[in-house]
Structure 1
């Protein structure tokens, strides 16, 4: 029998059927579980959850003075479209989304590794939260996720690729249903890395040929895991299996060429590479966002041209977080895109390349100024330590914001 009780009356031994409210307010990945750990009870009591549905046939009941039993929980409400928000305001919200998403992905991947099916309704809720963040501001979450630490790479990389896939699907004018599938595909695309030994996955140096052969098995291993999940679509499975294919046939695992690679797999390839090369890894520093776009554009035969151009329209030629030099000699970091022109973003200037001294920070909208970008710059070469703080508003860049 299902019964709704106040969260304050929950005790160990109860079987939780559903937690009222948005899942992001409580950070529990599973919607149905036996509450048998004190730390989980304390997390629940400290959360914003007001009501809890318990199943008295699977766990403990309330004492007699508890609330009257009810047989049907209320229907879940689908989140409505959110209005556009300012970058820094959405970054603050995206920090929480990323923290919850990271924990959810860790548990989800663990379930798949152990051969357990994941709850698709919970995964859909996670993708919806990511999608709503991208809708409120298309650059906040995907730029923030780039700041992940190397030891959380696999999980936060999945969150970042999910956000990028959602943004790219919208740019390609895909249907809402396919946008959701794109987000799911991004979330699951690297699940096969759970089958790779940690010594190889997190190796600080270059992989040997034998180790690289093992690493290249992760798409096939991931597809095996997803085939055990009856509700995972063929589109999602295809991205998992083929996101390392290249249009010139030099990719893996099947060496597919051009039209043999599905649109979703081509999208996955672009999003996967962009987040990978802009992220810090045990064996290399991440490239700047603008450098990454430039280098990807030079890899002829790697990506589908139409998909890559749509991706550039998503993130910009000079993405949020890119360090640039202006014709005036000022150096700044890109904080917003101009939807009408990829070459005239909004830049927060803070340094003079001519005097080599800091200047008073100023926000420059290049669409309204005679100044223009004349080149990309390297934070390392200039010795800048807090570039990410200038666009995100977060006080400690290059650390983990995700728990």
Structure 2
């Protein structure tokens, strides 16, 4: 039996079927988990989550006398959060500082990594694995803080922070889909390296605020092939990684680039990377572009018929905590199921 409760009614021994709200507000990696330790309960109550759904068949229920107190406590917490002086609790400040430090460290490593490859010195795969491990840990322990930090991307750091954010989203989504560990690892590496070919594109073009000309667009669209070429001699990289880097701008309807792949020719890992890549791009703060909210991204991406696998697109937004009613509304706008 499923039961929705307030955050103040939560107690050790409960099995959480799902948290209400956005996945990024949750301090936990998975949507379903058991509150086994007091520290888990503390983390949950210090987060932005205000309610959750528990499964009474897999864990304990709320204390009978706690309901009125819990609702009152929830209102008090909400009032405290609304107050300007306590909008960002100390625990969230700590999480943001840790995420910022990790992001700074990762950005520095990625910049050096990309520049080294661009200079013809080869890819340090040990560093790649270090960065992927750092991102996986950060998303597991402080997803909301990490993705908040990656939203603001300066002109000079956009490619690096975008790579970190896409890697985080891909890792989370692949785990949500229960893919095997090796596929998740390869997907995470590909997400980190998918835009490495942009080091061959002039910086003024990468940061151009206005619409690209036809010639500029043609040059921009060479970056997937450039990514593949830069990585083709890296024997420590699986073929899947290079394939994902080469084809991450393909579309289900065959109108993508560089090869015009369509339908079943586009693998599940490639469909996953494509969705996460675009989602991060449209929800990021740029000097010349306002970010879309998650809800806006869902509404607009679901109307781009032929670009994404429609079933997988809804699964992605489900994985980051979008409400069921919004998913149903978006589902009505989607095209037929992809091949």
TM-score range, shorter chain: 0.5 to 0.7
Q: Which residue of 2 aligns with 1:293?
A: 298
Partner of 1:158: 163
Give the match for residue 208 of structure 1: 213
Residue 283 (structure 1) shift: 4.2
| 2:282 aligned residue | 277
Indicate the SS of the match to 1:200: helix
Residue number among 231, 234, 238 corresponding to 1:233 in the alignment: 238
The total of aligned residue pairs comes to 239
Deviations 1:128-179 (A, max 9, x none): 1110111224433223211222332111001110101101110110122222
Question: Corresponding residue for 2:203?
Answer: 198
Which residue does 1:120 correspond to in 2? 125
In 2, distance between residues paired with 1:342 and 1:131? 27
Deviations 1:348-370 (A, max 9, x none): xxxxxxxxxxxxxxxxxxxxxxx
Alignment partner of 1:286: what SS?
coil
2:180 matches 1:180: no
Would the alpha carbon gap of residues 143 and 290 (structure 1) be closer, same or farther in structure 2, given more than 3 Å must change? farther
Residues 185 and 237 in structure 1, CA contact (< 8 A), matched pair in contact too: yes
- Determine if contact 2:302/2:310 at 8 Å carries over to the other structure: no
Q: Is 2:133 the partner of 1:131? A: no
Give the TM-score normalised by structure 1.
Answer: 0.56
* 1:298 counterpart SS class: coil
- Partner SS for 2:297: helix
Instruction: Output the CA distance in 2 between the equivalents of 1:306 and 1:292.
Output: 16
Q: 2: CA distance between counterparts of 1:249 and 1:166?
A: 26
2: distance between equivalents of 1:240 and 1:135? Answer: 25
How far apart are 1:197 and its partner, in Å? 1.1
Residue in structure 2 matched with residue 142 of structure 1 by the alignment: 147
Whole-Å Cα distance in 1 between the matches of residues 167 and 233 of structure 2?
A: 21
Deviation at 1:342, TM superposition (A): 4.9
Matched-pair contact (CA < 8 Å) for 1:166–1:183 = yes
- Whole-Å Cα distance in 2 between the matches of residues 193 and 231 of structure 1? 22
Distance (whole Å) between structure 2 residues aligned to residue 217 and residue 280 of structure 1: 25
Inter-partner Cα distance in structure 1 for 2:147 and 2:156: 18
Give how far 1:97 is off: 1.2
Structure 1 segment 2-401 matched on structure 2, within 5 A: 85=43, 87=47, 88=92, 89-317=94-322, 342=324
SS in 2 for 1:295: helix
Structure 2, unpaired ranges of 5+ = 1-38, 48-91, 327-339
Runs of at least 5 residues in structure 1 that lack an aligned partner in the other structure: 1-82, 318-340, 345-403
Higher strand share: 1
The whole-number CA distance in structure 1 between the counterparts of 2:145 and 2:303 is: 26
Check conservation: 1:138, 1:167, Cα contact below 8 A. no
Deviations 1:46-105 (A, max 9, x none): xxxxxxxxxxxxxxxxxxxxxxxxxxxxxxxxxxxxx96555254332111111111011
Larger Rg: 1
Per the normalisation by structure 2, the TM-score is: 0.66
